[in-house]
């Protein structure tokens, strides 16, 4: 399974499961994007809506960046390196998905930025080039508005099928389209909608068949600060159309189920979850971590101090100190409805303005950090908000003087996305600092939590912070 990364890098996490329930992160499709502007944060840009397919012994992932074009990555082993290719330099494409027909002819289906029509191209057999300018195969703004997230399905009983959600990410539904001719005309049917459930806008899903013949549908739900969380639904075929989830009224439009038996894959596998905590004892960062921009080796070290991760006080490119513009934030998505993240940090701040700490980041952010000001050390809560799509200046909400550069920081996130920071000077006794805050979603993504060290100038300084661990608990 793969997912969008937008500005975060490494990008497009590859997750693995043997039963569609227990997942772990095994790799990323790319380390960096091949465009210079992603050396700095580009919120909302980067990799959008990837699709993954297996064909003739290779795994393929297709995705678009909204300004640069269509890209494809391929590998024979998804745990190893993926080879990344720019298929076409073009702006305003989105949501591509490949398909290889029975005669070997390759096709690519995609939309346009703003959720536009379904457009089909012929491709070379190796999937590296488009062979035509594309044909519009479906558009009906009245029946299926805001159509996006295209996913070709298997050809069955002489029909070509593709799935696509419509109606908007948080308010829409999932549809399926079929035709005897790959170029149409296509019939359409809504196969999954919110109905009377609490699962709003079931969106951008894909059908999977297990080795025992069962069909399942994986989709997401927009949960604001918690991001676009993943659901698994049972699926059956009736009269040539999938019915997904439950269909209590028998109208052929499924509703999401919140609990169900696990898929039958022939055996039972132990519980597993994507990675969260990191003790920083390995020679590489855990796969749960992403930076806000193209990774720079000068930002950090895992060998400068054994068993710790060192973050250097990297200059912020805009010379404002706002974390919005800092590529060197090391973060991961909110990983549960409620959780607590704790880190131990030993800072060595040498220059006024240097700061290091723990951050909760979205369109708005706050952080608890140690700062050096006028030669003295202060423990602070800082904040910046995004108002009318404009990022406001970074500001300090509260501060207290401290005499140590070794601190423990913790944040507790509640089920309503509110959170509170605490700190300790001995790792045992914690005190609250600041108020209760409300996490905000980011640009197309949920909120993130992580650590940082930077200085709010364009000048290189000598400060750094050693993080002993980040531990996540429920």
* pLDDT recorded at residue 92: 97
Question: DSSP string of 299-321?
Answer: GEESSSSTTSEEEE-EEPTTSS-
Q: Which of 396, 405, 397 is nearest to 377 (CA)?
A: 405
Residue 461 predicted with pLDDT over 80: yes
* pLDDT recorded at residue 234: 98
* Percent of the chain whose pLDDT exceeds 90: 94
* pLDDT recorded at residue 392: 84
Question: Which residues does 93 contact at the CB level (< 8 Å), separation at least 6?
Answer: 64, 66, 69, 70, 110, 111, 112, 113
Q: Which of 237, 286, 202, 343 is nearest to 24 (CA)?
A: 286
* Domains, the chain, with CATH or none: 11-244 (2.115.10.20), 297-473 (2.60.120.200)
Residue 375 predicted with pLDDT over 80: yes
Question: Which residues does 327 contact at the CB level (< 8 Å), separation at least 6?
Answer: 39, 40, 41, 291, 292, 293, 294, 296, 299, 314, 317
Residue 474: how many other CB atoms lie within 10 Å = 9
* pLDDT recorded at residue 290: 98
pTM: 0.96
For residue range 341-360, list pLDDT tens digits in order.
999 999 999 999 999 999 99
Residue 395 predicted with pLDDT over 70: yes
CA 236 – CA 217 distance, rounded (Å): 10
For residue range 318-336, list pLDDT tens digits in order.
767 789 999 999 999 999 9
CA 379 – CA 355 distance, rounded (Å): 10
The mean pLDDT value of the chain amounts to 96
Q: Is 241 helix (H, G, I), strand (E, B) or coil?
A: strand
DSSP 261: P
* pLDDT recorded at residue 319: 66
CA 84 – CA 31 distance, rounded (Å): 10
CA 123 to mean position of chain CA atoms: 28
CA 279 – CA 295 distance, rounded (Å): 20
Question: Which residues does 208 contact at the CB level (< 8 Å), separation at least 6?
Answer: 20, 215, 216, 217, 218
Q: Give the mean model confidence (pLDDT) for residues 443-452.
A: 96
Question: Could you report how far apart the first and last alpha carbons of the chain are, in Å?
Answer: 25
For residue range 182-234, list pLDDT tens digits in order.
999 999 999 999 999 999 999 998 999 999 999 999 999 999 999 999 999 99
Phi, psi of 36 (to 5 degrees): -60, -30
* pLDDT recorded at residue 116: 85
Task: Identify whether 185 is preceded by a cis peptide bond (ω within 30 of 0).
Answer: yes
For residue range 53-94, list pLDDT tens digits in order.
999 999 999 999 999 999 999 999 999 999 999 999 999 999
For residue range 269-293, list pLDDT tens digits in order.
999 999 999 999 999 999 999 999 9
Distances in Å between the alpha carbon of 154 and those of 209, 232, 372? 10, 19, 60
């Amino acid at each position: 399974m793969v997912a969008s990364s937008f500005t975060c890098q490494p990008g497009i996490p590859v997750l693995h499961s043997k039963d569609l329930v227990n997942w772990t992160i095994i790799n990323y499709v790319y380390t960096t994007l091949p465009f210079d502007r992603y050396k700095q944060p580009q919120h909302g840009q980067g990799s959008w809506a990837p699709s993954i397919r297996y064909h003739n012994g290779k795994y393929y992932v297709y995705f678009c960046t909204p300004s640069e074009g269509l890209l494809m990555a391929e590998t024979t082993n998804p745990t190893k390196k993926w080879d990344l290719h720019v298929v076409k330099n073009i702006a305003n494409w989105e949501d591509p998905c490949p398909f290889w027909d029975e005669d070997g002819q390759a096709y690519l289906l995609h939309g346009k930025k703003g959720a536009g029509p379904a457009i089909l191209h012929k491709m070379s057999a190796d999937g590296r080039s488009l062979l035509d300018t594309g044909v519009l195969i479906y558009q009906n703004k009245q029946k299926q508005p805001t159509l996006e997230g295209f996913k070709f399905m298997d050809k069955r009983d002489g029909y070509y099928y593709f799935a696509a959600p419509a109606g908007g990410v948080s308010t829409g539904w999932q549809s399926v389209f079929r035709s005897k001719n790959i170029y149409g005309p296509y019939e359409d049917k809504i196969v999954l909608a919110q109905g009377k459930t609490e699962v709003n806008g079931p969106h951008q899903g894909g059908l999977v068949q297990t080795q025992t013949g069962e069909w399942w549908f994986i989709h997401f739900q927009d949960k604001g600060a918690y991001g676009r969380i993943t659901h698994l639904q049972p699926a059956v075929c009736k009269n040539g159309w999938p019915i997904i989830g439950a269909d209590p009224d028998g109208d052929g439009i499924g509703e999401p189920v919140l609990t169900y038996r696990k898929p039958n894959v022939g055996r039972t596998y132990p519980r597993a979850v994507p990675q969260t905590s990191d003790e920083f004892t390995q020679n590489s960062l855990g796969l749960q971590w992403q930076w806000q921009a193209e990774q720079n080796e000068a930002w950090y070290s895992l060998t400068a101090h054994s068993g710790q991760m060192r973050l250097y006080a990297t200059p912020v490119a805009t010379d404002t100190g706002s974390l919005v513009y800092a590529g060197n934030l090391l973060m991961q998505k909110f990983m549960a409805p409620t959780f607590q993240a704790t880190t131990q940090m030993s800072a060595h701040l040498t220059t006024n303005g240097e700061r290091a700490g723990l951050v909760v980041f979205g369109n708005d952010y706050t952080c608890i950090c140690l700062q050096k000001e006028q030669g003295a050390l202060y423990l602070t809560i800082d904040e910046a908000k995004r108002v009318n799509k404009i990022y406001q200046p970074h500001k300090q909400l509260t501060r207290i003087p401290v005499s140590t550069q070794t601190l423990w920081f913790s944040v507790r996130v509640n089920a309503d996305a509110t959170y509170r920071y605490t700190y300790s000077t001995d790792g045992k006794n914690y005190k609250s600092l600041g108020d209760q805050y409300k996490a905000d979603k980011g640009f197309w993504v949920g909120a993130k939590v992580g650590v940082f060290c930077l200085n709010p100038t364009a000048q290189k300084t000598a400060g750094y912070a050693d993080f002993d661990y980040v531990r996540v608990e429920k």
